[in-house]
Chains A and B, each alone.
Chain A
Amino acid sequence: MTRRLLAYFLLDTSGSMHGEPIQALNNGFNGLISMLRSDPQAMDSLYVSVITFDNDVKNIIPLTDLASFQPVEIKCPDSGPTHTGRALEMLCNLVRTDLVKGSAEVKGDWKPILFVFTDGKPSDLQLYRESTTKVKALDFGMIVGCAAGPKSEISFLKELTNEVVRLDTTDVNTLSTFFRWVSSSIQAGSKSQGTGENMVLPPPPGELIIVV
């Protein structure tokens, strides 16, 4: 009997992502799914859910196992705000319904993991701050924030998690490298365990800067 590992991806589709960045995001994300699908461990346990956020917040891919996953083109409007706060709010609601908690009868899921990708800053700051507290209370196994491009601001993501990756650009190469790293972080749990205690993220590739 296998436990599930739920992975939530919050992807910024605000107006500033228009053009090459959204192409690169699609590319990188599809590459990630493809990499995960070549790992039998991930295939056996990983479930993926994708939320996009701009002016609207959508759960474009409701929770699905890797094998049943159908690729969807991630689109973004020409312009508009970045409703990161509403996205986190939706995330909290989804986790509450998706996540199987251990009970006397049923094996619970692993602690879920969360990736937040943004190229800007939250337009709904008050809601964002309220929601970060709620997200933290949900006990994620790992939260990784990724601030990409020249206009992104790390400070807001740092309110959510200590693991923040900064990417200087949003081109195809950078995003592909980032998603490769995401893939290896997800897979780290099934690798050999050290004799020490805590699980650590694998080191990020050279061109990334981790801010701790």
Chain B
Amino acid sequence: MQIVKVNSIIDASRYYEYVDNGSPKQGGVKDVYFSPDRKYVVAFFRTPLDYNQKDRIKRIVTLYLENIKKGNAPDYFLQDIYRWPYDAVERDGKTGVIVPIYDSRFFFSKGYGVNDNIKGGEKVGKWFTAPSFRNKQYPLSLDSSELGDWISYFQIAISISRGVKKMHQMGLAHSDLSYNNVLVDPVTKSANIIDLDGLVVPGLFPPEVIGTADFIAPEVLRTKHLKLSDVGRILPNQRTDLHALAVLIYMYLLRRHPLRGGKIWDLDTEKDELMAMGEKALFVEHPNDKTNQVKTDQLRKWESFWGNPEKIPYTATGPYLSELFRRAFIDGLHNPMMRPIANEWETALLKTVDLIQPCSNTSCEEKWYVFDNTDKPACPFCGTPHKGTLPVADLYYKFKNDIWKPEGHRLMIYHNQYLFKWHASRKVIRNENLGPEDKKPVGYFVFHQHKWVLVNLALDGMKDLVTQQEIPRNAMVELTSGGKILLSNEEGGRLLYITITNL
């Protein structure tokens, strides 16, 4: 055991220390050593890098890091979304990157329910995207304290979408987005994108990997046999990142792979795999082409719930996400330009969170589900029907004078639900730029003395347009079918149109 000191190759006056105990943690291409205070790690590439590779690393720790620091919400991206390398070092001809240490929430505090085998292990995404680990019959299922609920995975998907959005805005492509490169914590609802030293600058540095099985875009696999110099060869780029992103989101929410169905394309396993993920790739839930649908009798017993799209179809994710899944896996599967961009995923995920209802079954494992627009809503996960009336608020914006137009944004109301500025005003956008002031609730909905009411906490100019009654702060208004509630008289203020269903 010795402490080694290494100098930065960016600025020779900076140095780092790490503990060398002879057995570093080994990643795919790097050996990882911890600093004595465990605030950062020094990760050395096992094989020496060439000029281009070093140049790319240098840019990632200088130029692109600076871009993030100077851009919007820098702390959010650098703390909550990325583990971004912030310096580079060299020792014995090997290049190393300095990366902030992973937060303790990304290590299992319990792991498996029955033993401590993975306690302390990294929570890579795969644990949470396979159906078996959450099946109680599985001998090594994860402890239920590790799994979070369905909302956890919306927040995780939102974080990943934002991370990809930011990278793409900076002109970068991740090139190897997969559940191995994203740490997630369903308990605190967080996700961190890791291993960022392989980022690709389109046109400047070519990718060194084609990706990880399950996430490689069909066009990359379809052209994999061509030489790197062949103009027809397609390597990872922003559009292939968008395929990987869609697959990740589908897997986090639905715990199965969107393209792994029952169709056998070739009797040779390797060829079959290449075709199923490449040139013949076909959505398992394609509404018209059933060729690749899951053969449910061939599912392993602990995959029979999440593995079966008939039990939880992709449409269980609600209208906004369903539309994007169709674009990603039907229209855009073989047509990369059609794939939804990261920002669209972020928006659709956020809008869907507003459609979520709590399940009235207190022992429901997912606890939340998306309102399915039917008059007899029920939790798709445990089957419990919704109890009681169900108010729905559609958001409208002022087009001109007395003309209001729908936002295409609906808020499902439940007891003890909060209303926020981003609902009340067009001028506040729900994204990573929100300050603490904007995250404070401006009102709440409750079922109070057999009536649904909205209590005004912080909105000026709230008014019931049916009765023409003003609703000042700390006053409430009853929600009735056909009700029109102006939330704010400020510019951009929205109107809620109320419908009460499940009567």
Contacts and interface: CB of A to CB of B under 8 A. Distances in A.
B222 interface: no
Contact of A192 (B28, B260, B298): B28
Interface stretch (A11-19, A34-42, A50-58, A144-152): A34-42
A207 B207 CA distance: 33
Interface string A183-201: 0100001111111010000
Given A1-B307, A102-B264, A102-B272, A40 B140 contact: no
B127 interface: yes
A90 B262 CA distance: 32
B124 interface: yes
A104 B264 contact: yes
Contacts of A101: 267
B210 A103 contact: no
Contacts of A111: 269-270
Interface residues on A, range: 20 to 34
B264 A67 contact: no
Contacts of A1: 257, 260-262, 294-295, 298-299, 303, 307
Contact of B211 (A105, A110, A192): A192
Interface string B418-451: 0000000000000000000000000000000000
B266 A102 contact: yes
B250 interface: no
A197 B227 CA distance: 10
B212 A192 contact: yes
Interface residues of B, number: 50
Contacts of A136: none
A193 B210 contact: yes
B262 A195 contact: no
Nearest to B235: A195
A181 B176 CA distance: 24
A105 B263 CA distance: 8
A97 interface: no
Given A1-B307, A38-B118, A67-B138, A106 B298 contact: yes
Contacts of A67: 132, 138-140
A191 B28 contact: yes
B300 A107 contact: no
Nearest to B267: A102
B216 interface: yes
Interface string B118-132: 100100101100101
A3 interface: yes
Contacts of A109: 269
A65 B361 CA distance: 34
B211 A107 contact: no
Given A37-B117, A191-B180, A193-B210, A44 B130 contact: yes
A192 B29 CA distance: 10
A56 B138 CA distance: 34
Contacts of A193: 209-213, 216
Interface in B382-402: none
Given A1-B307, A38-B121, A43-B140, A107 B209 contact: no
Interface string A63-84: 0001110000000000000000
Given A1-B298, A40-B126, A194 B210 contact: yes
16 contacts: A1-B260, A1-B262, A37-B117, A40-B124, A40-B133, A67-B139, A102-B266, A104-B267, A105-B264, A107-B262, A107-B298, A108-B267, A192-B209, A193-B209, A193-B210, A193-B212
Interface of B: 26, 28, 46, 117-118, 121, 124, 126-127, 130, 132-133, 138-140, 176, 178, 180, 198, 206-213, 216, 224, 228, 235, 257, 260-262, 264, 266-270, 272-273, 294-295, 298-300, 303, 307
Interface of A: 1-3, 34, 37-38, 40-41, 43-44, 66-68, 101-111, 184, 189-195, 197, 203
